[in-house]
Structure 1
Amino acid sequence: MKECLLSEAVLDVVAIGNAIVDVISQENDAFIASRALTKGGMQLIDAQQAEALYADMASGLEISGGSAANTLAGMAALGGKCGFIGQVADDQLGRIFAHDIRALGIRYETEVASDGPPTARCLIMVTPDAQRTMNTFLGASQFLPAAALDLDMIRSARILYLEGYLWDPEQPRAAMRDAIAAAREAGREVAFTLSDAFVIERHREDFISLIDGGMIDILFSNETEICSLAQTQDCENAIARFADKLPTLIVTRSEKGAIAIQNGTRYEVAAAPVERVIDTTGAGDLFAAGFLTGHVRGQDPTTCLTLGAIAAAEVISHYGARPEADLKELAGALLA
């Protein structure tokens, strides 16, 4: 690990997350029910389950994904300078992931795992109501060691962005703790996305400890996740529980828009209009992309929320979790 401390930020955001290739197919509700999958949720599966489920899926698309990587893809499309840390194996999907993220102009220099499981993949079934049911085989990504961290790159970014999904495995969890320490030493901000209720159920005490310890500056959550973290069914109570413990708390609410509580002040925006919702995969990831883009440019919270809503609306209007339209054009004057 490099130990060079840089005084000025070179990158906007460095993210640590799962390096995953998404396999997306269109399925009906009967397919979901017959395999006892939780519709609209995400579950971890092993290699054997991944092979069996993949064999049963309809033909689909293979697109590089991963929550934090999707966020960086959105930021890059909006003109951001980003770096990614995440581990792949020396296999076809690993090469696809590395090519795709570098093609976006994102710095990606994590060494390829020379042994162990294959590159991670997420099998995503999209039902006619646009809900996505995700089944993730974490593969090589879950063994990201602390030694793979480029502390120089982490300290060179204004924001360190951490993916909650990757907190689950032991090795990357330890690596992310080291990354937080490095970012803090350099005076950088730390952003964290809760990712999914199942992750919160397993690591609630860890997440609350990070919040109480002042280790998180920006927390991204949806309604379900913030309620799970607070162990309540009342979203407003959940927001109130954490709002004064975080410099910035973001809560997305699907078609109801989004909320930011920043330094005790509440901001709200409506959801951006969408002619037709095709696939909700990546909505939260792209919302974070828009918000963080505005944040690193010094925009006010309402503008940041609006940028997030625009980016999220674009990605749910087509299949896949990476933007297809010109986000800069959609954002227009908001990026000025």
Structure 2
Amino acid sequence: MTNSLDVVAIGNALVDVLAHSDDEFLAGRGIEKGSMSLINAEQAETLYGQMGPGVECSGGSAANTVAGIASLGGKAGFIGKVASDQLGKIFKHDITALGVEFNTEPTHDTNPTGRCLVFVTPDAQRTMQTFLGSAGEVGPADVDAELIQRAQVTYFEGYLWDAPPAKQAYIKAAEIAHAANKKVSLT
């Protein structure tokens, strides 16, 4: 098959927002240093407004995996959900600039693109506050059969397994991969 891929991943499409912070900032907001917590949209907006200058880049476990593969010369694709907002545009720009194929249609509802607010203290400890947003909306309709068939391995991010639509997407993608005699993996 032409234009084969080494790996296609399905996972959370998040934008990481990294900013320097200090212990006092975290303690003042009741955030445990070095932890990762899921937060809601309101908490994400509040924290984003309070954090210092940040750097925004595409992220998420599976997205980072295929970004690494592409950076090392491999051919990769990604299936994940972003909104049609500024962070969604950042995610798409960053991941495709690395050479990763990403064609999933964005959502047009009110659920914004997911983001992980990463607070880095002077001792290099990372504390993450994650709002999943539209990332959790991956479903069977998002599975690109042609992309799955071109990949040697379809890589499923375990963090999405709990959401019923994502589970259905994984099953559909696994069936497509198996029918094409390809491998699947679940992190």
TM-score (norm. length: structure 2): 0.91
Pairing 1:153–2:122 present: no
Residue 132 of structure 1 deviates from its aligned partner by 1.2
Bigger RCO (CA 8 Å, 6+ sep): 2
- What code does the residue aligned with 1:89 have? A
Return the letter of the residue paired with 1:124: V
* Alignment map for 1:255-334 (pairs within 5 Å): none
Q: Please, which of 5, 10, 29 is the counterpart of residue 11 of structure 1?
A: 5
Partner of 2:55 in structure 1?
A: 61
Alignment correspondent of 2:164: 170
Describe the shift of the 1:183–1:98 C-alpha distance in structure 2 as closer, same or farther (beyond 3 A): same
Q: What are the superposed Cα offsets for residues 146-169 of structure 1, whole Å, 9 maximum, x if unpaired?
A: 111112211221111111222243
1:50 is aligned to 2:39: no
Distance in 1 between residues matched to 2:74 and 2:119, nearest whole Å: 31
- Whether 1:127 and 2:146 are equivalent positions in the alignment is no
What is the distance in 2 between the residues matched to 1:180 and 1:51? 36
Report percent identity of matched pairs. 54
Where does 1:17-166 land on structure 2 (aligned, <5 Å)? 17-166=11-160
Q: 1:38 to 1:183 in 2, by over 3 A?
A: farther
Q: Tell me the distance in 1 between the aligned counterparts of 2:100 and 2:16.
A: 19
The structure whose residues are more often strand, as a share, is 2
Could you say what secondary structure the match of 1:38 adopts?
coil
Q: CA-to-partner distance for each residue in 1:65-106, whole Å, 9 max, x for gaps? A: 111111111111111011110111111111111121111111
Query: For the structure 1 residues 160 and 142, does the alpha-carbon distance in structure 2 shift closer, same or farther, using more than 3 Å as the test?
Result: same
Q: How many residues were matched structurally?
A: 187
Structure 1 length as normaliser, TM-score?
A: 0.53
**Cα distance in structure 1, aligned partners of 2:100 and 2:164:** 26
What is the alpha-carbon root mean square deviation over aligned residues?
Answer: 1.8
Distance 1:176 1:129 in 2: 39
> What are the ranges of 5 or more consecutive residues in structure 2 without an aligned counterpart?
none
Higher helix share: 1
163-172 or 89-98: which moved more?
Answer: 163-172
Unpaired runs of 5+ residues, structure 1, are: 1-5, 194-336
State the SS of the aligned residue for 1:138.
strand
